[in-house]
Amino acid sequence: MMSYADGWAALHLEMPDRVPHTEYSLEMHFGLIERLLGIRLKPGDPPERKRAAGVQLAETLNYDFMWNVLVHSQIFGDKLTDMGHAVYQEGGTDYNDKIFALYDDPEDALKFDPFELYGPRDRKTLVAAFDEHYDNACKTYGDAVNMTGIYVTIMSGFIAIMGWDTLLTACGKNPAGFGEAANRYAAWMQQYYDALAECKSPVVMVHDDIVWTSGAFIHPDWYRRYVFPNYKKYFKPLREAGKLIMFTSDGDYTEFIDDIADCGVDGFVMEPLTDMAYIAEKYGKTHSFIGNADTRALLTGDRDQIYNEVKRCMDIGKKYPGFFMNVGNHIPPNTPTDAVMYYLELCEQMGRR
């Protein structure tokens, strides 16, 4: 069974007897599901069958924390950009070559007004949606820490609405004007954060891809002027409501760790590029953190490389009460099943305190 008690203790900085554990995307790894559960899945199987197997896998692997958000790019309807999608899932079922842009002209993007484009939101409707999402998660994953949350916080919202080309060109042409567009978006998104504060979920996930693999893709001063002040506005009602705020960004957000902590988060979720040792050393006694094994060790490495990667993470995090073991950049379906099995064995062995 999954362990709500261990996950909850770690989030509250109470040292459990084992290092809590979670993973992402393993429900898409049909080879592992067949090996562990004896269930043979095919890409064309009904979604319900795949979901049921994924739930059984999470229970078998004793996940303590279920990363989950409700508010994604679906809230923009058809008023967004589609950049397509490469193959990730078994059978390439997620491939998409239909590409279109909401804004062809970066000057038009600078005029972006979400209240005009998307309209206002009803608070009670949003709260009810968050509550339903959280309740469904709890029913599905009964003995793990569940949550709801928001994916398109600021930068991830702009990536979905404008796409990379328009986003970077508009900001490059007029950083201040793009900053004002960010402020307008944040004012609109505040509706969702106010509702999130009223919902029943005690843990909330804040996702925002503010960086890429090499770090900030806009000058750091811009983030400190237009992103983090809006985070503080978002998080104020969450903190007043007593929520535990978890923050996730892909890429390397090492240069912004202190800024994010100052905004009022309770925990960090990261990919391997972000310096987990820095988080542990400075915030390990006051914050939880999740990560940050590199999936490449499993994908192409031998057993020694996998061992050393798990050991690296455990050496950093195990001494701190809020550490969760995790492959930070997902375990894709083309990862050798034997490698995944060995990684999971190591997590269990090294995770005992």
Single pTM value for the model = 0.94
Give residue-wise pLDDT tens across range 140-155: 999 999 999 999 999 9
The pLDDT, as a whole number, for residue 31 is 96
Residue with tokens 């843990």: 203
The CATH code of the domain that includes 172 is 3.20.20.210
Residue 91 has pLDDT above 80, yes or no: no
Residue 241 has pLDDT above 70, yes or no: yes
The pLDDT, as a whole number, for residue 102 is 86
- Using an 8 Å Cβ cutoff, are 124 and 77 in contact? no
The pLDDT, as a whole number, for residue 141 is 95
Residue 328 has pLDDT above 80, yes or no: yes
Give residue-wise pLDDT tens across range 73-82: 999 999 998 7
The pLDDT, as a whole number, for residue 311 is 98
Q: Looking at the DSSP assignment, which residues form a beta bridge with residue 85?
A: 96
Residue 85 has pLDDT above 60, yes or no: no
Give residue-wise pLDDT tens across range 295-312: 999 999 999 999 999 999
Residue 230 has pLDDT above 70, yes or no: yes
pLDDT band at 95 (very low <50, low <70, confident <90, very high): low
Give residue-wise pLDDT tens across range 331-343: 999 999 999 999 9
pLDDT band at 90 (very low <50, low <70, confident <90, very high): low
d(CA 66, CA 202): 13
Residue 99 has pLDDT above 90, yes or no: no
Of the ranges 74-83, 180-189, 211-220, 332-341, which one carries the lowest mean pLDDT score? 74-83
Per DSSP, which regions of the chain are E strands? 148-150, 203-207, 211-212, 215-216, 244-249, 267-270, 288-293, 323-327
The pLDDT, as a whole number, for residue 84 is 54
Range of the domain at 103: 4-350
Instruction: Over range 233-256, report the average pLDDT.
Output: 98
Give residue-wise pLDDT tens across range 51-75: 999 999 999 999 999 999 999 999 9
Q: In angstroms, what is the C-alpha Rg of the chain? A: 20
Helices then strands, each counted (H, E), the chain: 15, 8
Beta strands 323-327 and 288-293, pairing class: parallel
The pLDDT, as a whole number, for residue 249 is 98
% of the chain at pLDDT higher than 90:
92
How many structural domains compose the chain?
Answer: 1
Instruction: Over range 175-198, report the average pLDDT.
Output: 98
